[in-house]
Amino acid sequence: ETGVTQSPTHLIKTRGQQVTLRCSSQSGHNTVSWYQQALGQGPQFIFQYYREEENGRGNFPPRFSGLQFPNYSSELNVNALELDDSALYLCASSLEWKGVSSYNEQFFGPGTRLTVL
């Protein structure tokens, strides 16, 4: 158990709909990153939030957006769902990064499995 929780566990949507996925970070962690993992592939970085601001984004369109709240929980929102958005969505929380030579372990939640029909 990493202390990172995600909800819901599974979700089924249809094309064109909107979805909100939620993540509760490990206590004291002020950074959350979101990853998309398509079936049979490795996770791909969507974006990261630090102190409620987006801080780094991967190769994902603007219809993928996020929020981080003062209690460091966060949301991933996806608008105008497409079939290719079907994937496991993982969030990971970590402590504040203090420079290139440092590393803070990212703790992953169990993921939300999104199916778009």
Partner 1 sequence: SQQGEEDPQALSIQEGENATMNCSYKTSINNLQWYRQNSGRGLVHLILIRSNEREKHSGRLRVTLDTSKKSSSLLITASRAADTASYFCATDGGGLLMIKAAGNKLTFGGGTRVLVKP
CB atoms < 10 A from the CB of 103, how many? 10
What 3-state DSSP class applies to 34? strand
Answer yes or no whether residue 113 interacts with partner 1 by CB under 8 A.
yes
- Contact call for residue 33 and partner 1 (CB under 8 A): yes
The gap between the terminal CA atoms of the chain, to the nearest Å, is 31
- Nearest Cα to 104, choosing from 48, 46, 65? 48
Return the structure tokens found at 75. Answer: 């949301």
- 60 scored as a contact of partner 1 (CB under 8 A): no
What part of residues 66-105 is at the interface with partner 1 (CB under 8 A)?
88, 90, 92, 94-97, 99-101, 103-105
The least CB distance from residue 6 to partner 1, in Å, is 8
**Strand, coil or helix: 2:** coil
Nearer to partner 1, 18 or 96 (CB): 96
Which member of 11, 13, 45, 86 binds partner 1 (CB under 8 A)?
45
CA 84 to chain centre: 17
Q: What are the structure tokens assigned to 45, written together?
A: 């970085």
By the rule CB under 8 A, 59 interacts with partner 1 = yes
Binding residues for partner 1 (CB under 8 A)? 2, 4, 30-31, 33, 35, 37, 39, 41-45, 48, 50-51, 53, 55-56, 58-59, 88, 90, 92, 94-97, 99-101, 103-111, 113
